[in-house]
A and B are shown apart, each in its own frame.
Chain A
Amino acid sequence: MSVELSSPDLKTDEMIINMGPQHPATHGVLRLILTLDGEICKHVEPVLGHLHRAQEWQGQNRTWFQYQALIDRVDYLSGMYTSWAMARAAEQIDGLVVPKRAEYLRVILSEMNRITSHLLWLGTYLIDLGAMFGFPFYPFREREKLFDLFEEVAGQRMMFNYIRIGGVLRNPPFGWFDKLKRFTDEFPDRIDEYEAIVTENPIFLKRTKGVGILKKETAMAYGVTGPCIRASGIPLDLRKTKPYSVYPELDFKVQTMDGDGDTWARYMCRIREMRESNEIIRQAIEKIPGGTTEELRKLLGTTGPEKDESKDLDPSFLLMAKKQNAGLRVKAGEGFAAVESPRGTIGCYVISNGSDKAYRFKWRNPSFCNLSVLPELLVGAPIADIMAIFGSIDVILPDVDR
């Protein structure tokens, strides 16, 4: 996109400006070196690495059991997905079959996590655009409800450490499924509210329509994944294109947008995905083997959690296919697994040599690949649009730098 803000009479020198690393709208510490001609961006160079924590190296120096607790912190807004990618890679090496109930719990909790991630994006994106009239806190209201549910089942609000190699940690407490059901019933109305405020708002449309157009070819060339590529019209969603876990049993559609793939399309794609995730959760609650925790306990004739793991149980009701202890080992071999996170494809490649530590970890993080397309989008855009475009690709800087 090009804006005619300068004429040949008003020739000015190019100016280099640093945006960040301490810029309130860069969602972390990203430095953008902008070369400006007047208002127009001529060249952009993102400088990464301020948050580098050597996550891959740490994976090779910690036991499997310890690394499971750490890996949630890579992408702190969607911790379930990084755990899931690593768990699937390790299960692939071990040849484990995860029990059905555990798979359903994984799907439910990670779809909840997708909703919380998109809700936070929605709130902060509107702050980026300057919508400070209190709206950013509407999404946080729903997010808070989901976090309370996470806290009950996993123990913490964002650093879950819930998905483990071979299953999940524990059954949700009594009443948890009812609360979640109530949430899924009321959540579509809440999305309607957000949409009433934002979607057709003329100011919002002016800021986002036709801004930051990501063409199909560019998106494919740069390896963009997640809502960004789906907003450009490519139905790439690992849940459908390379189904894993119990997603084939659930009925949902890949949300793609027709048209240019501008920032508005990326916004709309995420809104639709939230509705779709809500539907997935609703279906998964219906289909989960063993039903709610109350029903499961009644089935087993126990009141405490100690029988949840007993051997004489229907194998699909179990939670864990591998014993969790400090000396957790994975067979020698190598495995790769990818899951569809709120930001795109998280890939985990791991080589194990059979000891209690991994030999090598390699992560494919969606934020890093999505960020690489940023210079393409920003060249030719005025300064005022930079944050609108950057916010719309939804990167998490710890996920970029690892």
Chain B
Amino acid sequence: MFALVGRSIESLYQVARGLKTVFKHTVRPPITKNFPDDMPDLPGHFRGRLALAVNPQTSEHLCISCLQCERVCPDKCIQITSHKSPETNKPELIEFKIDHGLCMFCGLCTEVCPTSCIINTNDFEMADYTRESLVYDLKRLTLSQDESAHYFAKKELPMPKPKPPKPAAKPAAPAAAAKPAEDKPEAKPEVKAEAKPQDLPAAPAPESPKKEEQ
């Protein structure tokens, strides 16, 4: 009998102790953030939507079509179209497509990029109505000069060297030098990279007519 009374009192005390903690929380300031009104202060290394930066000083496009990001992407969501410029004999960017519906935001493409062109922005509000609109093309991917400057400062990236007027000593040169060195050991991925463009154009092709319909 006494034991039962004792247990009841003990239980009541423990419940009261818990409830005291709960009630203490009712007078604490809220910890939730009013998301759409005040945006979170994201760090520079946050891996958000992918974008292509331009040179913050000269507004030149930084991409040199080295295709390293396309090759390293585990999801194969990057598709680059380039051709060899007949005047300079250097690859020239025509189209750059990233399917953000496939992207897993691992940030590997930004790590291998020799010119810090492809970067993860702090933008994360990418919800959209169709899957096709998640495929970003070159125009939607390219950042403005101010935005690029903002991200270069925030990510503490080294400033790119401005492209000299003569195309002979482009910033492409160090990347081109680095590429063959990597290509030699990477015999197998090279074969894959060749095989892939055959597959890929087949996939986006049915998408493009849909876009026109819209």
A contacts, CB < 8 Å to B:
62-63, 65-67, 69-70, 133-135, 138, 141, 144, 151-156, 159, 161, 170, 173, 193, 196-198, 200-202, 304-306, 324-327, 329, 355-357
Chain B interface bracket (under 10, 10 to 19, 20 to 34, 35 or more)? 35 or more
CA distance A368 to B165 in the complex (A): 61
> Nearest CB to that of A173 among chain B residues?
B43
Q: Tell me, in angstroms, the Cα distance from A198 to B19 when the chains sit together.
A: 10
20 new A-B pairs (CB below 8 Å) besides A173-B44, A325-B182?
Answer: A62-B74, A138-B25, A153-B45, A155-B45, A156-B46, A159-B104, A173-B43, A193-B21, A197-B22, A200-B17, A201-B14, A304-B158, A306-B158, A326-B71, A326-B72, A326-B186, A327-B182, A329-B185, A356-B185, A357-B188
Contact B17–A196 (Cβ < 8 Å): yes
Q: Which residues of B contact A329 (CB under 8 A)?
A: 185
Check: B156 CB closer than 8 A to any chain A CB.
Answer: yes
* Contact status B106-A326, CB under 8 Å: no
Pick the contact of B106 from A69, A141, A153, A200 — CB < 8 Å? A69
Instruction: Give A141 to B45 CA distance when docked, in angstroms.
Output: 23
Asked if A151 and B46 sit within 8 Å, CB to CB, the answer is yes
Is B107 located at the chain interface by the 8 A CB criterion?
yes
Q: Mark B140-158, 1 if CB is under 8 A from A, else 0.
A: 0000000000000000101
Q: How far is the CB of A270 from chain B (nearest CB, A)?
A: 19
Contact B22 A133 (CB under 8 A): yes
- Taking the closest CB of chain B, its distance from the CB of A127, in whole angstroms, is 16
Complex Cα–Cα for A134 and B44 (A): 34
Any A CB within 8 A of the CB of B108: yes
User: In the complex, which residue of chain A has the Cβ closest to the Cβ of B108?
Assistant: A69
> For B47, what are the chain A residues with a Cβ–Cβ distance below 8 Å?
155-156
- Residues of the B chain whose Cβ atoms lie less than 8 Å from the Cβ of A355: 188
Complex CA gap A198/B14 in Å reads 9
Is B31's beta carbon under 8 Å from chain A?
Answer: yes
Asked if B197 CB lies within 8 Å of chain A CBs, one says: no
Given contacts A134-B22, A326-B182, contact A151 B74 (CB under 8 A): no
Q: Report B157-212 residues with CB < 8 Å from chain A CB.
A: 158, 182, 185-186, 188-189
In whole angstroms, what is the CA distance A304 to B154 when docked? 11
User: What are some 9 contacts across the A-B interface (CB < 8 A)?
Assistant: A69-B108, A133-B22, A153-B45, A155-B120, A156-B46, A159-B106, A197-B18, A197-B21, A326-B186
Contact among B18, B20, B105, B107 with A198 in the assembled complex (CB-CB below 8 Å): B18
Closest 4 pairs (CB-CB, A-B): A69-B106, A202-B11, A197-B18, A66-B74
For B47, the closest partner residue in chain A by CB is: A155
In Å, the complex CA distance between A110 and B18 comes to 31
Check A196–B21 contact: CB distance below 8 A.
Answer: yes
Instruction: Indicate whether A66 sits within 8 Å of B72 (C-beta atoms), given known contacts A156-B105, A161-B107, A198-B18.
Output: yes
Which chain A positions have C-beta within 8 A of B46? 151, 155-156
The answer for the CA separation of A355 and B189 in the assembled complex, in Å, is 11
Complex Cα gap A202–B72 (Å): 56
Cα distance A201–B46 when bound, in Å? 41
Out of A155, A173, A197, A305, which one reaches B107, CB within 8 Å? A155
Cβ–Cβ contact A200 & B14, under 8 A: yes
CA distance A196 to B45 in the complex (A): 38
**Pairwise interchain contact B112-A326, C-beta atoms closer than 8 A:** yes
C-alpha gap A287/B46 in the complex (Å): 28
The distance from the CB of B200 to the nearest CB of chain A, in whole angstroms, is: 18
Min CB gap B100→A, angstroms: 15
Given A62-B74, A325-B182, are A170 and B22 also a contact pair (CB < 8 Å)? no
- Tell yes or no: B95 within 8 A of A by CB: no
> Which residues from B are CB-within-8-Å of A62?
74
Shortest beta-carbon distance, A315 to chain B, in Å? 23
Interface residues of B in 6-33 (CB under 8 A from A): 11, 14-15, 17-18, 20-22, 25, 31
Q: Is the CB of B111 within 8 A of A324?
A: yes
When C-beta atoms are compared, the residue in chain A nearest to B111 turns out to be A324
Q: Does B82 contact A (CB under 8 A)?
A: no
**B11 contacts A325, C-beta separation under 8 Å:** no
Beta-carbon contact of A69 and B186 below 8 Å: no
Query: What CA separation (Å) do A173 and B154 show in the bound complex?
Result: 11
Q: Is B59 an interface residue (CB 8 A)?
A: no
How far does the Cβ of A133 sit from chain B's closest Cβ, in whole Å?
Answer: 7
